[in-house]
Structure 1
Amino acid sequence: MYSPAILFLLSSAFISASMANFGTDVDVTWGGQRAVVTNNGQQLSLSLDRSSGAGFQSKQEFLFGKFDMKIKLVHGNSAGTVTAYYLSSQGALHDEIDMEFLGNLSGQPYTLHTNVYTQGKGNKEQQFHLWFDPTADFHTYTILWNPQQIMWYVDGTPIRVYRNHESSGVAYPSKQAMRMYSSLWDAEDWATQGGRVKTDWTQAPFTASFSNVDINGCVWSGSGSSCGPSSSSWMNQVLVASDQQKLAWVQKNYMTYNYCSDAQRFPQGLPPECSLA
């Protein structure tokens, strides 16, 4: 069920929209010529060298939506680099939904790092290894964010679900509009094996490529009413039985870290959402 506050926002401040062009629908926010748009706006590449990385953001802000993008990650020795794809609002008390791809030594798997921030607080990490080479070709990465839950997908396979437990006192990102962001940057102090493996700058420039951006969401505009609770299929989407099986398969075979299993990190007790269905 939607809270009265969410229903008010949906009926008074949002309109449905779809965006699918890097040339017209995103802004390069840093890195200058290290961000290159090609193929009539259907593809964008980011490069990282010793001087700088690069990043871009959606022109529009959204409160709830389905965000799809194909990404081909840095090939070869990408240790120390992070390719980020996430949603975020602004300010110290921001909300954020993360997918970050942590680089690796050649032949070792990337780590896909996921997290959720509400009111500036995160500490809800789950990490995964991918079951394919994400540098050989483009793969589709999806963040689906609706009032009931957040779901992360890889090539249509769900890997994580974070449910709305506001009724039990657990904060959920439901009140701040967020932009979509992507970036390629140097995080050698922590990205690869906890920072033990540093960036090899003789391999620079590092390049990640992005394609087929597709956002269907509720645009923050201050007016409009076309994005109500039943306006889009993703607004009420949940995992069906077959998706639950896929989720269990991924988490059994490819999850490498789950904050809800880290009792040592939370000596006063695991976060409350860890025990909620």
Structure 2
Amino acid sequence: MRLSAAAVAFAATLPYAFAQTSTDCDPLEKTCPNDTGLNSKSFKADFTSDGGLSSWTEAVATKIELGDQGAEFSISDDKDAPTVETDFYIFFGRVDVTMKAAPGQGIVSSVGLESDDLDEIDWEWLGGDTTQVQTNFFGKGNTTTYDRGGYSSVSSPQDTYHTYTIDWNEERIEWIIDGSTVRTLTYDDPTTLGGKNYPQTPMRVKLGSWCGGCAEAEGTVEWAGGKTTFDNAPYIMYVKSVEITNNNPAKAYKYGDKSGSYESIKLLDTDNSNLSG
């Protein structure tokens, strides 16, 4: 999830906010550990059953409960920002998330794909917006402009389960709601700067929510839909399931150089031998 300039400033003050404004190791700047890959074509997490969170890591201070409605991402005060991410990366593929966004003015629910070099593809819902969802993407952490976002209509996202899909390959990204494509981004779209800012490196899946209406910055509060009060808390985002298709299964992914191009990514087996040339 990437935010507006004002929201980025606020997110920097939240240690557990669901925002990729930095990375533990940027492979465009130095040699980093290889990314653990999903070594199969498919993966499914059923959050309505025990064990649904296996292969996921909870962020510090995150406590996710599993129940009949799925994984509960609950916000009760301004410090809460529950977040989980996969223990593995995928290299192009499809992610289907069946969920209900959290209600509550100023509450932000998010589903995203994020890479070590700050490539990113997002869905975002505002708790007070009952008719639409935001889509966005970023490449190589470029936040010089915020003209990449879009809005798509969706009925009662806080009250109704919908399946939100990111279908991602070398040529295009599709954002899909309940089987219908609502946005397509091509590699050569002008906003990708000739493909340089097209998301194209191995990604983890992240799910989370946070309180944008708790910010001190007025711009952040305005973007999130207004000041948040907690009279009706907790505000809960429910995720029933996540299904993942990995187009390029591997034990690990290695950045072959510092270009950030998908053509430089190497698929590795367990002993780090090169499988893809």
TM range (shorter): 0.5 to 0.7
Equivalent residue, structure 2, for 1:82: 108
Query: Which range is displaced more, 190-199 or 95-104?
Result: 190-199
Question: How far apart are 1:168 and its partner, in Å?
Answer: 7.8
Q: In the alignment, is residue 137 of structure 1 matched against residue 164 of structure 2?
A: no
SS of 1:194's equivalent in the other structure is helix
> CA 1:54–1:14 in structure 2 vs 1: closer, same or farther (change >3 Å)?
closer
Q: Deviations over 1:147-172 (max 9, x none)?
A: 11011001111111111129983322
Q: In the alignment, is residue 61 of structure 1 matched against residue 89 of structure 2?
A: yes
Question: How far apart are 1:221 and its partner, in Å?
Answer: 2.4
In structure 2, runs of 5+ residues without a counterpart are 1-36, 46-51, 253-267
Question: How far apart are 1:219 and its partner, in Å?
Answer: 4.2
Alignment RMSD (CA, Å)? 2.8
Query: Which range is displaced more, 144-153 or 129-138?
Result: 129-138
TM-score when scaled to structure 2?
A: 0.65
Residue identity matched to 2:195:
V
Q: In the alignment, is residue 170 of structure 1 matched against residue 195 of structure 2?
A: yes
Cα separation, 1, equivalents of 2:159 and 2:132? 16
> CA 1:168–1:117 in structure 2 vs 1: closer, same or farther (change >3 Å)?
closer
Question: How far apart are 1:46 and its partner, in Å?
Answer: 0.6
**Equivalent residue for 1:181, pick from 192, 206, 210:** 206
Residue identity matched to 2:71:
L
Query: Which range is displaced more, 177-186 or 157-166?
Result: 157-166
Question: How far apart are 1:209 and its partner, in Å?
Answer: 0.3
Equivalent residue, structure 1, for 2:243: 214
Question: How far apart are 1:216 and its partner, in Å?
Answer: 0.7
In structure 1, runs of 5+ residues without a counterpart are 1-12, 229-277
Question: How far apart are 1:111 and its partner, in Å?
Answer: 4.0
SS of 2:54's equivalent in the other structure is helix
Equivalent residue, structure 1, for 2:99: 71
Cα separation, 1, equivalents of 2:240 and 2:228? 26
SS of 1:31's equivalent in the other structure is coil
Cα separation, 2, equivalents of 1:193 and 1:111? 16
Q: Deviations over 1:49-99 (max 9, x none)?
A: 213120111111111010001011224xx1111000000013xx4100011
SS of 1:60's equivalent in the other structure is coil
Equivalent residue, structure 2, for 1:237: none
Q: Deviations over 1:109-161 (max 9, x none)?
A: 25422111111115343332534111222110000111110110011111111
SS of 1:158's equivalent in the other structure is strand
Question: How far apart are 1:183 and its partner, in Å?
Answer: 0.5
Equivalent residue, structure 2, for 1:120: 141
**Equivalent residue for 1:99, pick from 113, 117, 123:** 123
Cα separation, 2, equivalents of 1:118 and 1:47? 30
SS of 2:98's equivalent in the other structure is strand
Cα separation, 2, equivalents of 1:18 and 1:66? 9
SS of 2:167's equivalent in the other structure is strand
Question: How far apart are 1:208 and its partner, in Å?
Answer: 0.8
**Equivalent residue for 1:200, pick from 215, 223, 229:** 229
Cα separation, 2, equivalents of 1:219 and 1:83? 29
> CA 1:124–1:16 in structure 2 vs 1: closer, same or farther (change >3 Å)?
farther
TM-score when scaled to structure 1?
A: 0.65
> CA 1:128–1:103 in structure 2 vs 1: closer, same or farther (change >3 Å)?
same
> CA 1:134–1:151 in structure 2 vs 1: closer, same or farther (change >3 Å)?
same
Equivalent residue, structure 1, for 2:257: none
Equivalent residue, structure 1, for 2:29: none
Question: How far apart are 1:192 and its partner, in Å?
Answer: 6.1
Aligned length: 204
Residue identity matched to 1:149:
R
Provide the identity percentage. 24
Question: How far apart are 1:16 and its partner, in Å?
Answer: 3.5
SS of 2:91's equivalent in the other structure is strand
Larger helix share, 1 or 2: 1
